[in-house]
Each structure stands twice: as C-alpha cells, then as structure tokens.
C-alpha cells in the first residue's frame, strides 16, 4: 500500500498551504532570541521564492546544492525549495571542518553553496586550495563580503515572486537529498534519499506518535541530521502541526522554550536529559503541555524515571 499516494514534496507543500493556510507551520528561535513565525501559506511562499532564486542562479533538476547552516528558517526554505524544482540538497554537518566539508563538496559535485558568515572563511580557503565544482555561494546573513561569486540569500530571495516559476516533472522516486554519514570508519559516505523516503518517514513518524494538527513539535536537533528531518520536521508538517526549530540547545533555556511555545511533543538525547536534571528546580517545572518525549541512544531506566517523575508526564 502506497501511504503517500504518489505525492512528491512539491505537491505536499502546495496541498498543505491550501488546507492549513494561515495556521502556524514553523517557528524558529535563534541563539540570540530572535523568533520568526510562518503560516503554512507564508512558508510555502518562502519556499517558492527560494526555488525561484535557485532557478535564476542556474539550478535545474538533478543539480546539487550544499547547505552548511545551523538551525534557521533558511535551511527549511532551501530544503523544500530545491525539492520543488527537482534539485538535490546536500546538507553538511555544521560542525565539520575544512577537510570533511571539501570532501563532501567534491564527492557530491555540488555547484552552489548556501552558508553563513560564520562558515564563509572556511569555504574561501576551500575554493583557493581544493578542486570543487562550486560556482556560486549564497550567504544567509545580512553582512556580505565584497567577493565575486557571493550573493545575499535573503536579498535575492525577496526579489522573487511567491508563485513557482519552474516546475519540471517530478516522481516520488526522484532524489531529494544526499545526506553524508559522519565518516566514523573512513570518509563520509553519501546516502541517497528520495521524495518518497521523506514523505514515508513523515507519515510513519506522525503515526508513531499519534501527531495531530493541533500539536506543537519542538526540537533542538540539528536540521542537517536525518533525525530532525524525518522524525521531527517531516512528521510535524505531514500532520499539519506546528514545528518549532530552536537554533541550539541550552539546558538553562530549554524547559522555558517548551513552556513558551506550548510544545506537546519534543525529542531528547541522553546528554539533554542529564543536563536538564541538574538544573535548579522551579515551582512551574510541571506547568507544560508535553504529552510525549522521544529519546534516542542509551538512557538508563533510572535516569528516565527521574526525568518522568520530575516532569510529570510519560516518555
């Protein structure tokens, strides 16, 4: 049985915008506390503008575009904007250094990069010292160096129309991204992920946690990782829920973010559980709407129960 009904990612976003309209789809909070909110309609328009931006820069179906970004709205825009025109996202682990990043660019044959000022100096060095197929870099930050082949992502995006200008035929078996492993045994290896893979993961994860369209799914997991993409983002969007993407984890801030955004679902790794449990207790710790917390990797039963008892909900 084909649970996604032959729907690729372009059709998914057009349908979500039609069905959910002005309902909040995405909330992004930066490390500096800047919050951006987008309805399903607005997010689809931003995705379309981004798709049009890539098209004006010469990106076509089957081309690879690398993203080296921390959690931010631009990652979401690029991910689905590329998918809408049949191009392929190559997310790069934001913690990787020059050698691994250069290898991924070379191996994937990415012709364009979207990154931030934080990582730009590394890519200047890569362009000078390594053979890649990069022909252009877009910076997601406001500040822009006076270098050839470098553009402001936001400035270019905002010049684009909100309706899609280039819509090549798509199949659910078309490649949506190439996600590279951590390279623990050798160099990072590219894993090909299709439109179908992402759609199925979204539906399956939404079913697994009984996600509803009134849920708020908050995560601090990195968007470049398959967990954030398939277990959180695709699940939330597939259910018509609200997805809250926090730039970086802070033990001091996390529980307040859960409460502020009225999150009903979140996900943790053991390090998060352990650091949360050593925070000073607060009188309002139990004042939250969480009904489910998913955790990954090894967590002892004792640690789990301490967290459950302190928070008054079931993992």
Query: What integer pLDDT is reported at residue 2 of this predicted model?
Result: 66
What is d(CA 224, CA 90) in angstroms, rounded to the nearest whole number? Answer: 9
Q: Is the pLDDT of residue 19 over 90?
A: yes
- Higher per-residue confidence, 223 vs 4: 223
CA distances from 276 to 71, 129, 248, 257, 272 (A): 21, 43, 15, 13, 6
Of the candidates 245, 239, 244, 174, the one whose C-alpha atom is nearest the C-alpha of residue 201 is 239
Q: Is the pLDDT of residue 40 over 90?
A: yes
- Higher per-residue confidence, 100 vs 185: 100
- Higher per-residue confidence, 105 vs 274: 105
The separation between CA 36 and the C-alpha centre of its own chain, rounded to angstroms, equals: 14
Query: What integer pLDDT is reported at residue 142 of this predicted model?
Result: 66
Least confident of 50-64, 143-157, 158-172: 143-157
Query: What integer pLDDT is reported at residue 301 of this predicted model?
Result: 77
Least confident of 163-172, 186-195, 276-285: 276-285
What angle separates helix 301-311 from helix 270-277, to the nearest 10 degrees? Answer: 50
pLDDT digits (tens, 9 = 90+) for 48-82: 999 999 999 999 999 999 999 999 999 999 999 99
Per-residue pLDDT band at 242 (split at 50, 70, 90): very high
Contacts of 64 (CB under 8 A, 6+ apart): 87, 88, 89, 90, 108, 109, 110, 111, 178
Average pLDDT over residues 200-210: 94
Per-residue pLDDT band at 146 (split at 50, 70, 90): low
Per-residue pLDDT band at 192 (split at 50, 70, 90): very high
Annotate 97-126 with b (16+ C-beta within 10 A) or e (fewer): eeebbbbbbebbebbbbbbbeebbebbeeb
Query: What integer pLDDT is reported at residue 305 of this predicted model?
Result: 76
Residues forming a β-bridge with 191: 179
Q: Domains in the chain, please, with CATH?
A: 9-22+41-194 (3.40.50.980), 200-311 (3.40.50.980)
Average pLDDT over residues 249-264: 96
Instruction: Indicate the pairing of strand 216-219 with strand 242-246.
Output: parallel
């Amino acid at each position: 049985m084909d649970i996604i009904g032959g729907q690729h990612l372009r059709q998914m976003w057009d349908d979500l915008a039609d069905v959910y309209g002005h309902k909040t789809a995405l909330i992004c909070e930066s490390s500096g506390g800047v919050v951006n909110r987008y309805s399903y309609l607005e997010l689809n328009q931003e995705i379309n503008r981004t798709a049009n931006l890539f098209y004006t820069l010469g990106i076509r179906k089957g081309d690879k575009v690398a993203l080296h970004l921390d959690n931010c709205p631009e990652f979401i825009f690029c991910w689905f904007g590329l998918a809408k025109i049949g191009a392929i996202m190559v997310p790069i682990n934001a913690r990787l250094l020059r050698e691994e990043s250069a290898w991924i660019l070379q191996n994937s044959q990415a012709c364009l990069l979207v990154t931030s000022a934080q990582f730009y100096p590394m890519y200047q060095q890569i362009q000078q010292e390594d053979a890649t197929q990069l022909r252009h870099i877009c910076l997601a930050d406001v500040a822009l160096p006076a270098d050839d082949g470098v553009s402001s992502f936001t400035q270019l995006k905002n010049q684009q129309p909100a309706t899609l200008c280039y819509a090549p035929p798509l199949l659910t078996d078309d490649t949506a991204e190439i996600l590279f492993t951590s390279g623990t045994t050798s160099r990072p290896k590219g894993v090909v992920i299709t439109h179908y893979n992402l759609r199925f993961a979204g539906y399956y994860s939404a079913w697994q946690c009984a996600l509803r369209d009134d849920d708020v799914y908050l995560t601090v997991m990195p968007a470049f990782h398959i967990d954030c993409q398939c277990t959180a983002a695709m699940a939330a969007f597939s259910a018509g829920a609200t997805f809250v993407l926090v730039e970086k984890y802070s033990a001091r801030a996390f529980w307040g973010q859960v409460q502020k955004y009225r999150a009903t679902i979140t996900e943790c790794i053991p390090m998060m559980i352990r650091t949360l449990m050593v925070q000073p207790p607060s009188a309002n710790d139990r004042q939250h709407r969480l009904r489910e917390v998913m955790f990954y990797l090894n967590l002892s039963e004792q640690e789990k129960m301490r967290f459950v008892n302190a928070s008054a909900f079931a993992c």
